[in-house]
Amino acid sequence: MDTAVQRFLDDVWNKLMTIYNKESKRINEFVSHRPLQAGVMDYLQVAWHDGKIHIDIEEPLDWTDSSYKIEAGPYVAELTEERIRTELYPAFRKEVEELFLSDKLGPHFFDYRFQIVLSVEMEDEDIKICDQFVNNEKLNQLRQSLQKFITSKIISNLPVLPSVDDQFFFSRHLINPELIKQKEDTVDPLIGRLSDKLSSNKERLNEWIGQYTSAMDDWIQNDYLPRYFNRADSYAIEWIPKEDMALINPNADQLSFFVYTALQIGRKRPGTREQYLKLAVQIGSKQAADYIRHGSGKFAPVYKGNYAEIHNNDVTQTIEVRILAEEEAAYGEVLDHMTELLQKGFPKEYNLKLKSKQKNYLPLKKMAKSGLHRFFAGALTYPALFPKLDAYANIVMEPYAWYKDTEPCEKSVMPGTYAVLGLGLYSRDYFSLVTRYMEMVDTEHQMIQDDYAQVFIDAHGVEPELMPVLIDILLAGNEEARPVKNFVIDRIELAKALLQELLSKEIYERELVLYRIFGSLEKLKKAAKSEQTELELKAIYAELLALVS
């Protein structure tokens, strides 16, 4: 072997084994108990550029540099293209493959599939050689482990559940054609079975949906779409058809599976689903075109009533409403139909496009001026429709879900928001609904409810009997919520009602409520000492302070 080739390989191998031995100790500590993880390492790149040897043990990202670097000697100048292709790469490949197929670094160090890349920057033309190895013994073992896992952890009855770690790997294996057939009638029952088992645990269920959604999106972006499209650039989500795409005859089963995964992704990312379905149409999917035009077929796409016309598409998660007569009956007709759709499983996270002459809005300045908002503000002008709005809200409210009437932003709101907040302003009969809403709302990511206390007080005032619902509203505020200027505790009966309500709260809840009413504990202390405050009120203020001390 040429001396320059041998020295290059020696430098690379010495550095690589130092790295791998260190990684081996770390990996063997935590992987041995994971039946669905054949191994960890699945990638190695050795590159010569910028005057150094770069080693990547994970596929590098465009926006970061995590390479291990080696200062190579002058021998690199002697590496010709012929020597690289005929001597260096074959020798490098042979050593890596032997290590990959051995258990030298532990049984869980390498995954069953391993990719190697050799990249050399040359004066005339850069060289890049890629290859893959498969450990068939590990692959067969993983297939057996997966089938056993499906039987023992997925198909089995409760209380048996997979661990969170195994749940993650299961989501990845579901999209891997080397482990499971990429067919809807194979994958969907398994997703549905685990979803049903997790239905009573919303946190685990949402985590599971996020896991398989992410796995499907990774497969689409890194495997399927690159067969037909090029990315506009590394950061863009725009896909440009390849010049020869029209000549590529797509596999019908794989195209169908792509459409299926696009629909599944749409549960959490409706915009992404629509983009993928449009790309599927470009590839030749009539099924995707039908979904975009008419929906899944589960719901009648058109309803023509006496006072309104309604079109719906559960795939694009849209409802289009045309009000034919601006009167109570029209809004009642639409509410009845939408409630029926929701009862049958129509997505709660939908957008509504409204054709109507009215321009009503709720008195919350930061709310999106959307068709959805306008429709419910219009319906709320008819008190006789309040029971229908209540029925709709009780069905559609869903924590950690969002209407699609605006891009994700500070104006995004939980399904049911417009109906619930409106009912709370216009009728005292629905305070229990408001309380239920405030208990469900995502206080970390939604902000609209922050200003609701002020308009609620404008509508109803501050009275002792309102204290429970007022405190529920305050406690639902985002961490950036400010004090409520018109929430004034200046009467003994109000102070007593506030004190009584806070007794059952946690300290952090008491602190939040007192901050939003008084501005700060210091201001409350000052009021408790003020000569202008009557004696009995001072005593109650002191008791309020004692609750958080």
Residue 236 pLDDT > 80: no
pLDDT digits (tens, 9 = 90+) for 164-219: 889 999 999 999 999 999 999 999 999 999 999 999 998 899 899 999 999 999 99
Average pLDDT, the chain: 93
Residues 36 and 111: their CA atoms lie apart, in Å, by 11
Average pLDDT of span 525-529:
88
- Share in percent of the chain as helix, strand, coil (round to 5): 55, 10, 35
User: Chain-centre distance of CA 232, in angstroms?
Assistant: 24
CA of 539: how far to CAs of 226, 229, 258, 465, 514, in Å? 72, 73, 68, 21, 16
pLDDT at 73: 82
Residue 96 pLDDT > 60: yes
CA of 399: how far to CAs of 20, 382, 413, in Å? 45, 28, 10
> Percent of the chain having pLDDT more than 90?
81
pLDDT at 157: 95
Q: How many CB atoms lie within 10 A of CB 112?
A: 21
**Measured in Å, how far apart are the chain's first and last C-alpha atoms?**
79
Residue 32 pLDDT > 70: no
Residue 75 pLDDT > 90: no
Report residue 152 as tokens. 């023992």
Half-sphere exposure of 298 (CA within 13 A, CB side): 13
pLDDT at 330: 97
Residue 374 pLDDT > 90: yes
Q: Give pTM, 2 decimals.
A: 0.72
Q: Give the three-state DSSP class for 103.
A: coil
Average pLDDT of span 92-113:
95
- Residue 503 CB-density burial (10 A; 0-12 exposed, 13-18 middle, 19+ buried): exposed
Question: Residues of 412-435 as b/e, b for ≥16 C-beta within 10 angstroms?
Answer: bbbbbbbbbbbbbbbbeebbebbb
The model's confidence at residue 235, banded by pLDDT at 50, 70 and 90, is: low
Residues 312 and 342: their CA atoms lie apart, in Å, by 11
pLDDT at 274: 86
Cross-strand pairs, 99: none
Residue 315 DSSP label: T
pLDDT digits (tens, 9 = 90+) for 134-161: 999 999 999 999 999 999 999 999 999 9
